[in-house]
Amino acid sequence: MNTQTVREELTTDQLQQLVVSSLEDFKAADIVIIDVSDRSPLTERMVIASGNSTRHVKSMAENLIVRAKAGGNPPLGVEGAGEGEWVLVDLNDVIVHLMLPQTRAFYNLEKLWEASAERRSGISGSQ
């Protein structure tokens, strides 16, 4: 008889809190949470944070992966962990972008999602 404990998946809010807590524990800088539930069919939230070196970014990602697995939400995928300039951790309802400050400034995801929201409200407001 299998006696393994079956864990229920975390809610989006619980998963977001796990992510933020994990990043705060590893001294992530400038943590930003963007609700994209009305703009993306892929996920509910994006979390963006900076690390001060490639080693720091990789460590934050590794810690997050361990905590997500322990919480019953293993990542669907991880990209960029080898280089460490930008690591994406896909936790399904929460996608996490961990970047070096210069990489974050170059891609400016916050502005991209803000522009997407403005464009959508402009489109829906004109109909």
The total number of structural domains that make up the chain: 1
What is the residue range of 16's domain?
12-125
Once rounded to an integer, what is the mean pLDDT over residues 32-48?
A: 91
Question: Each residue of 44-56: pLDDT tens digit?
Answer: 999 999 999 999 9
Strands 29-35 and 86-90, bridge-based pairing: unpaired
Does the residue 53 lie in any domain?
yes
The rounded percent of the chain whose pLDDT value lies above 90 is 73
Residue 29: pLDDT band (50, 70, 90) is very high
Once rounded to an integer, what is the mean pLDDT over residues 57-76?
A: 96
Does the residue 3 lie in any domain?
no
Structural contact between residues 100 and 54, judged by C-beta atoms closer than 8 angstroms: yes
Please tell me the pTM assigned to this model.
Answer: 0.84
Structure-token pair, residue 125: 């407001």
Which pLDDT score is estimated for 115? 65
Does the residue 94 lie in any domain?
yes
User: In CATH, what number is assigned to the domain containing residue 27?
Assistant: 3.30.460.10
Query: Please, what's the b/e burial string for 52-82 (b: 16 or more CB within 10 A of its CB; e: otherwise)?
Result: eebebbbbbbeebbebbeebebebeebebbe
Does the residue 2 lie in any domain?
no
